[in-house]
Structure formats: structure tokens, C-alpha cells
Structure 1
Amino acid sequence: MIIDLPDTTTSQVSKKLVTLREEGGAVALGRVLTLVIATAIGAEEEAIEAANEASREHPMRIIVVSTNGAGEEPRLDAEIRVGGDAGASEVIVLRAHGETARDQQGLVTGLLLPDAPVVTWWPGECPSQRACETPLGRIAQRRITDSGASDDPVGMLARLAEDYKPGDTDFAWTRLTLWRGQLAAALDQPPYEPITSAEVAGAPDSPSTLLLAAWLRRQLQVPVTVDVADGNPTAGIHRVVLHRATGAVRLERVQPAVAQLSQAGQPTHELSLPRRGLRECLAEELRRLDPDDVYGDVLRSGLDARV
């Protein structure tokens, strides 16, 4: 069910939520957090769909703050989505036009769940200032960006490293979970030899490639070479090679959802390594509300892994 509230106020939206609750159409009990999504007007639906899917694992209230450029007449249009249109959550869409968009924190403050953590997510372009200093970032325990969605992903990753504060995270890091897991599992098998050097190859515009190289350098304390000019048109990470005395460990994506793992003296294995969508990344980040210290250390200490 979708309730439209054109040319409204946040106070009227809050009153409508209370009415719906009293009528039994929406219940806030059991919600574990408030997810605030900051996006542009017209670009909301993909993020809402991902959040609805993630809400089946993390019941929550979703507040979407959509804005446009200056110049329009100030106005707030809202939607409340409950039931089948909201997954296991309730969705409040606030479309702020013109000057109404200047006070984003004021738009959402009265709609936050009481005594529940707040997570703010920018699914598109990262904020132009430090995430923790934005109006919606100041109210959040966790702040999620996606440098891969920026016009200059690698440059944005470098800026995120300069601006990092505990509680920040980025989907370029979340997309590495399966790669990190497979590499750790491979090294947990004999022979238990030290790694002497490593190589990471990926697309030139892949921030995840740089983060994976930085993580390997931090974890293994060895030189890591980054190759972003191998002519492979595939997006994202292409392969990782870990060198040791008896032969290399090679993990290479050969299809969009399949990778091959090869090691000296062992048969080649095909592994499931799908590209992670918004839903999977968001659900993983919502499983923890404390700072991701490993991400912070990797981001700040090892991005320049071309050694």
C-alpha cells in the first residue's frame, strides 16, 4: 500500500504514521534501526528495492530523502509505503524541492525510530563533504557510501581515505568479502608456506581492486603489485596471484559468477564468486553497527600498493 502526501510537512507525515499504526496497517515494533537513504529525485527506486530486500533480514524503518537542484519552488511531497510495497519495513519517501531540501536533518529528525541506531546510505554519488559532517551523516552511527558509483571511483576512494572517520564504510570494500574469504580459505590449506609477494589485477576504474591490494599488503606484509592495464574489458577485480616457494596460488574470475582457483600440485577448482548487488552489500553492512576497524586501517594505511 502506498499513501501519497503531496505538498505536505514532516509533522503531517508523522501524524499519518501514527494513524496507520492505530489502524493496524503498520507497526513500528520490532524495527531494529532506521535507514536513511540520501539520493536525487527520480533515482530512488533501485535503492528502495535493495533496502526492502535487506529489511527481510533487518526489519527497519526506511526514510528516503530525495532532493533536486535549487531553483524550484520549495515543496515537500511524501509517500508512505507499507505492506507488500515495503518488504519487512515501512518506507517513507520525502521528495524535497528547492529550499526545502536545505534542512535535511530537520526533515528526518521527527521520523526516526526512538532509541534505535541510525544508518545513512548514499547509493549514488558520494557526498561532496565528509560524510560524518553532512546533515544526514551527523545523526548516524554508520555511514555507507559507494565510491564505485562515482564519476571518478579511484579519485573518490582516495578522498574517502583522507576524510575517514570511524563508522564510515564503502561498498567497494563490501564487495571484497567473497574474494577475501576464498583467499583466506586457500591459505588455510597445506602447504603452509609464507607468501613472498602478490599481484592483483582489475579494471582501471575499480576501487575494489585497490582495496584488495591494500588488504593483502596489510595482512601478508609483502610487496603487492597492482595491474590495471591488462586489456581485460571485464569490470571489477580480475585475478589475484599469491607467490610462494613451491608455486603460486591463483584465483581468477573466468565468468561473471565463477572463479578458478589453481595451486601447484593440486587440481584446479571452480568456485562460486558472483558479483555482489546492492541488496547483498547493504544487508552485510547492516549486520554490524560498530566501526569496521579493518576497513579503516586498510583505507588509511595501504591504498598505494604499487610496490
Structure 2
Amino acid sequence: MKIDLTETTASKVNKALVQGRRAIGTPAVGMVLTLVIVTDEENAYDALKAANEASREHPSRTLVVIKRVSRSPRDRAAARLDAEVRVGTEAGTGETVILRMYGEVLHHAQSVVLPLLLPDAPVVVWWPVNAPLDPAKDPLGALAQRRVTDSYAAEQPIHELTARSAAYAPGDTDLSWSRITPWRSMLAAALDQVPGKVSAADVEGEEFNPSCELLAMWLADRLDVPVTRSFSSGPGLTAVRMETDHGEIVLDRADGSLATLSMQGQPDRAVALKRRETSELLAEELRRLDPDDTYAAALKFGVDRLGAPSDKPGRPTPDQAPEEPKKAAPAAKKTAPAKKAASK
């Protein structure tokens, strides 16, 4: 069921939600959280689709905040709120409210969202694109226990990751971190089978992929060993190699779906390691709403390791076309110093 409201208020939206629930015969629904999606009109459809699929696991009230900038000076001055209320099959397993804000309302989005939050339920704010530099200090982000960004969607992903490091607050997370969960699980399981100690590691993947950077940070932080970054054409992460006292451990995924785990003295094993959809990543983040200390530690190590973007010679920014590598040249690498050395 859909209810369209033009030039409305938060109070009228709440009444429409109650009206919609009664009309479909479900006056009481069990929703576990409020998910606030802050996006633009272009990306709203994909974000809402991912949220509806994630709601199968986490029934929630989804508030989509779309800030519209009018071209006409007269329209820019006029404050207006349009809303679309969806309940029943139109909203997955929860409720959906699409809020389109114009004029002065753009600067007070938190005042519109606050009355629509579920009482006594956690709040998660997700920016699919164009996240603020400091999500915790954003007016909408301040309402949430969990703030989800996606560095991969930024124009300059590595710069965005550096900004996340500088502005980190407990409750912040990034879908680029969620993308490497299966990799971290597989690598940890492989190390449990090898009695030797890791002496070095190498992470191979796309050059401007923040997930590759985060995995390298995590390995360097947890293992306290030098970690190098090799660049490939992708897709995404393609391989991780770890040198141990008992030989090399290699997790290689060349096609983005099936990986091969190789360890000294054991037969090679095929491992399902497909690239996951946004809805799966979002559902994973909604499973736990407490601060992710492991992500925070990896991100903090990244501040010391990456430094300022200008400190990395030979690495072009995303708005510059990288030079064509020579066919005979080996893969470019950058080395992460050991954790102890970084703190000196």
C-alpha cells in the first residue's frame, strides 16, 4: 500500500503510517530498528532495494532522506516536505517512508526524521554515496548508534578511507570492511592449521580499492609483520600471500567467485568466495550494533601506514590516468612497516 503526501509534516506522516497498518490489517508490527538512508534521487532506488532485501533478516522502519535542490530561486527559498509512505508488500517486511526535502528543510533534516524514529529501538544511518567527512558529527549521524558509509562509492576511495581514519568514532563502519569478512575468516582458519609464525604478507587487488587497503591494514595490525600491497586488474581483491616458517599460504581468487587455498604439504582446495551484493553487506552490518573494535584498530593502523596522500610518490590520484605499465615490469608494490616500527 502506498500513501502520497505533498507539502506535509512529520506528524501527518506518522498518522499515515498508522492508517496504512490498519488498512492492511497489521496494527502491530515487530520491527527491530530504524534504518535511515541518506542519498540522492539517482541512487535512491538501488539503496532502497538493498534495504528491502536486508529487511527480510532485520525487519525495520526505513526512512529514505532525499535532499532535492530546486533550480528556481523561488523554489529554493520555499521550505517543503513531500513524503511517500509504503506498508505491506511494498515495503519488504517493515515500513518505508521516502522523504523528499526542499528549501530550508534541507538544513534541518534531523528535525523531520526524529519524530519518525521507532521508540526504544536502535537507529542506523547509511550513506550509500557522498557520506560526510565526520559521520558522528553529522546532524543525522548524531541520532544513530551505528553509522554506515561506503568508501568504495567515493570519487577518491583512498582519500575517503584516510578521512574515515581521522574522524573515526565508536559506531562508525564501512561496507568496504564488510566486503573482506569472508577473506578474514578464511585467512584466520588457514593460520589455525599452520603451526609456524607468519613473517611477511602481501595483498593483491585493484589499486584504488579500499577493501584491499583495509585487509592489508588488518593483517599488519594483527600479525605485526611487514605487509606489501600489489596491484592487479581485479575484480576487487585477487590474492593474499603469507610467508610462514612452514611455507607459503596463498588464497588466490582470479575470477571474483571461486578461490584456491594453497598451503605447504596440503592439496589445493577450492573455496567459494564470491563478491557479495550490497544487501548482504548491509544485513551483516545490522547484525551487530556495538562498536567494531577490530575495524577501529585496522583503521588506526592505516593512519600511520598510509600517511597523507601526497606522501605516496608514484601513486596517482583517482582523477589522474595511471601510466601504462610495461609488460615486463613486475607488479607495483608498497610496503607497510611492522606495527612496532610505525609507532616509533
TM bracket, shorter-chain basis: over 0.9
Residue 336 of structure 2 corresponds to which residue in structure 1? 306
Matched, 1:196 2:199: yes
Q: 2:26 & 2:155 partners in 1: Cα distance? A: 39
Residue 15 of structure 1 corresponds to which residue in structure 2? 15
Q: 1:143 & 1:125 partners in 2: Cα distance? A: 13
Shift of 1:245: 2.3
**Counterpart amino acid of 2:65?**
V
Residue 138 of structure 2 corresponds to which residue in structure 1? 134
Q: 2:155 & 2:103 partners in 1: Cα distance? A: 25
Q: 1:296 & 1:167 partners in 2: Cα distance? A: 9
Q: Is the 8 A contact 2:234 2:254 kept in 1?
A: no
Matched, 1:69 2:69: yes
Q: 1:98 & 1:264 partners in 2: Cα distance? A: 64
Residue 57 of structure 1 corresponds to which residue in structure 2? 57
**Counterpart amino acid of 2:42?**
G
- Any idea what SS the aligned residue of 1:255 has? coil
Query: Residues 283 and 28 from structure 1, CA distance in 2 versus in 1: closer, same or farther, beyond 3 angstroms?
Result: farther
Residues 105-139 of structure 1: CA distance to partner in whole angstroms, max 9, x if unpaired? 01111111011110000011221x31011111010
Q: Tell which deviates more after alignment, 16-25 or 207-216.
A: 16-25
Matched, 1:174 2:178: yes
Root-mean-square deviation (CA, aligned residues, Å) is 1.5
TM-score norm. by structure 1 comes to: 0.94
**Counterpart amino acid of 1:214?**
M
Identity %: 47
Q: 1:203 & 1:23 partners in 2: Cα distance? A: 50
Shift of 1:71: 4.5
Query: Residues 135 and 70 from structure 1, CA distance in 2 versus in 1: closer, same or farther, beyond 3 angstroms?
Result: farther
Q: Is the 8 A contact 1:71 1:98 kept in 2?
A: no
**Counterpart amino acid of 2:202?**
E
**Counterpart amino acid of 1:199?**
D
Q: Is the 8 A contact 1:153 1:207 kept in 2?
A: yes
Matched, 1:240 2:243: no
Q: 2:10 & 2:16 partners in 1: Cα distance? A: 10
- Any idea what SS the aligned residue of 2:259 has? strand
Shift of 1:15: 1.4
Residue 121 of structure 2 corresponds to which residue in structure 1? 116
Q: Tell which deviates more after alignment, 84-93 or 72-81.
A: 72-81
Residue 227 of structure 1 corresponds to which residue in structure 2? 230
Residue 212 of structure 2 corresponds to which residue in structure 1? 209
Q: Is the 8 A contact 1:248 1:264 kept in 2?
A: yes
Q: 1:86 & 1:20 partners in 2: Cα distance? A: 11
Residue 112 of structure 2 corresponds to which residue in structure 1? 107
Q: Is the 8 A contact 1:31 1:89 kept in 2?
A: yes
- Any idea what SS the aligned residue of 2:287 has? coil
Matched, 1:85 2:127: no
Q: 1:202 & 1:193 partners in 2: Cα distance? A: 26
Q: 1:131 & 1:124 partners in 2: Cα distance? A: 12
Q: Is the 8 A contact 1:54 1:279 kept in 2?
A: yes
Q: Is the 8 A contact 1:125 1:147 kept in 2?
A: no
Q: 1:225 & 1:246 partners in 2: Cα distance? A: 20
Q: Is the 8 A contact 2:235 2:255 kept in 1?
A: no
Q: 1:273 & 1:130 partners in 2: Cα distance? A: 32
Q: Is the 8 A contact 1:25 1:82 kept in 2?
A: no
Residue 218 of structure 1 corresponds to which residue in structure 2? 221
Q: Tell which deviates more after alignment, 164-173 or 20-29.
A: 20-29
Structure having the larger proportion of residues in helix: 2
The aligned length equals: 302
Q: 1:121 & 1:272 partners in 2: Cα distance? A: 28
Residue 3 of structure 1 corresponds to which residue in structure 2? 3
Q: Which has the larger radius of gyration?
A: 2
Residues 179-202 of structure 1: CA distance to partner in whole angstroms, max 9, x if unpaired? 00111111111x311111100111
Any gaps of 5 or more consecutive residues in structure 1?
A: none
Query: Residues 106 and 7 from structure 1, CA distance in 2 versus in 1: closer, same or farther, beyond 3 angstroms?
Result: same
- Any idea what SS the aligned residue of 2:97 has? strand
Residues 193-212 of structure 1: CA distance to partner in whole angstroms, max 9, x if unpaired? 11111001111110011110
State the 4+ residue runs in structure 1 displaced beyond 6 angstroms: none
Q: Is the 8 A contact 1:54 1:283 kept in 2?
A: yes
Any gaps of 5 or more consecutive residues in structure 2?
A: 306-334, 338-344
Matched, 1:154 2:158: yes
